[in-house]
Amino acid sequence: MSNHFNSLPYNKNALEDMIKNQIVYRGVSSSKVLDALRKFPREYFVREKDKPYAYTDGPLSIGYNQTISQPYIVALMTDLLDLSGNEKVLEIGTGSGYQTAILSLLAKEVYTIEVVPALVDFAKNNLKRFGVQNVHFFCKNGYEGLPEHAPFDRIISAAAPKKIPETWKKQLKKGGIMVLPVGIVYQDLLRITKIDDQHFVEENILPVRFVPLVKEDES
């Protein structure tokens, strides 16, 4: 590992318990994903006062009405992306940067968009401690994606649109995979595989609860 991880103290027992009881227990067993969770202890992505709860089985507030996602969901979404290490990934909803950090280890480059400026700073600071260098931060509404950097091998969203934005489908490479929650009150976690511009395979993974995607006209 070429980051500063080894020099950072963390609660190893709590992290290993989280991996065993929340993630492996529910069926995510990819050693690449599990090792990435070990490289980025979740306590470095929550607010100081929440450190004692960093390894609990749920989302936690990061302020601004936003949350760091549940560890299992982060692991599951990462697993569903099926990363080999060469991918250029678009992430919508940086939040704490926890998912971003994990992607940075398993993909080649991460382009991440967050609409709340203070959270962009929070995530940047969180990632800086680990010496992560392959993440590009953008502070804007992610609804339009990043046409200037498209196409992407993978797209992942941590905020739920009412329906899949056409812009994201367009910016996904042929053969690429997109993992996102879709819906209003009841959302489904979907995995979309792009066959070509007209054909997409849609898999419904499980019901989830994410924050809504802020739309273009609401930001």
SS3 letters across the chain:
CCCCHHHCCCCHHHHHHHHHHHHHCCCCCCHHHHHHHHHCCHHHHCCHHHHHHCCCCCCEEEECCEEECCHHHHHHHHHHHCCCCCCEEEEECCCCCHHHHHHHHHCCEEEEEECCHHHHHHHHHHHHCCCCCCEEEEECCHHHCCHHHCCEEEEEECEECCCCCHHHHHHEEEEEEEEEEEECCCEEEEEEEEEECCEEEEEEEEEECCEECCCHHHC
Tell me: does residue 213 bind ligand SAH (CB under 6 A): yes
**Cβ 42 to ligand SAH shortest distance, Å:** 9
**Cβ 102 to ligand SAH shortest distance, Å:** 9
For residue 167, the number of C-alpha atoms closer than 13 Å in the C-beta half-sphere is: 14
Q: How far is CA 138 from CA 75, 123, 207, in A?
A: 23, 11, 29
The tokens describing 44, both together, are: 């470095």
Residue of minimal Cβ distance to ligand SAH: 95
**Cβ 91 to ligand SAH shortest distance, Å:** 8
Site residues for ligand SAH, 9-68, by CB under 6 A, read 66-68
Tell me: does residue 119 bind ligand SAH (CB under 6 A): yes
Tell me: does residue 182 bind ligand SAH (CB under 6 A): no
From the list 7, 69, 96, 157, the catalytic residue is 69
Q: Per-residue x/- mask for ligand SAH, residues 68 to 107, rule CB under 6 A?
A: xx----------------------xx-xx-xx--------
Considering beta carbons, is residue 22 or 99 the nearer one to ligand SAH? 99
Site residues for ligand SAH, 121-180, by CB under 6 A, read 141-143, 158-159
> Count residues contacting ligand SAH (CB under 6 A)?
23
Considering beta carbons, is residue 176 or 181 the nearer one to ligand SAH? 181
**Cβ 30 to ligand SAH shortest distance, Å:** 18
Question: For this structure, is 69 an active site residue?
Answer: yes
Catalytic residues: 69
Task: Give the footprint of ligand SAH on this chain (CB under 6 A).
Answer: 66-69, 92-93, 95-96, 98-99, 113-116, 119, 141-143, 158-159, 211, 213-214
